[in-house]
Amino acid sequence: MTRAQIEAERARVEKDYQDKVRECRQRFVVTSCLEDARDERIRLLRPLDRAEHIVNAEDRERRGVAARARVLENERQAAADEARRKTESVRMADHPASAPQVPAAKTPRANPELHQRQQAQQDAEAKAKAADRRDAAAERRVKAQQRQRKASEDLALRDQKRASAASSAKGNATPKPDPIHLPTPSASDIKALPRR
């Protein structure tokens, strides 16, 4: 059964039910007639509900198959793209770019003495930079130690203030007086109370 056939049959059953309800309302014994009409309607709708469930299951299955096919196609496409990218990268590796040119300042000169002096000057500059970096690192370490020392001193001072404030609060607080006990009424006092 198709979905359209199920809907048409359901509409026919509902129309018949409404007709029977109208007919029942014209009789003297309405309740039993309405119950019979409702039972008949339920009996006729059950196979339609089962058929509708089957149609829905088939639709879900078709959608699932289509979704799996889309996923497989996307995976195939992604694999093809990845393979294309890999072949392009291999092709590019086979044809490397032209060798990088060494800057003119780095090429050794025909005059070896000049080259040695330049090399010595570069070495001296590198050593000076390394010494500057070491000095800066040592200065940062000293400052970090000073900050840490100051933080621990501040923490100790805060703890000391908190302890002194707590002890002064305890010392200044007056103790609460003992509770005052009220006299217990006697039986005659209770009898004398007005009744509610």
User: What are the pLDDT digits (tens) for 178-194?
Assistant: 888 888 889 888 888 88
Tens of pLDDT, residues 32-63:
999 999 999 999 999 999 999 999 999 999 99
Q: Cα(65)–Cα(69) distance, rounded to whole angstroms?
A: 6
Tens of pLDDT, residues 164-179:
887 776 666 666 778 8
Q: Which residues contact 41 (CB under 8 A, 6 or more apart)?
A: 13, 14, 16, 17
> Is the Cα dihedral 7, 12, 13, 15 positive or negative?
positive
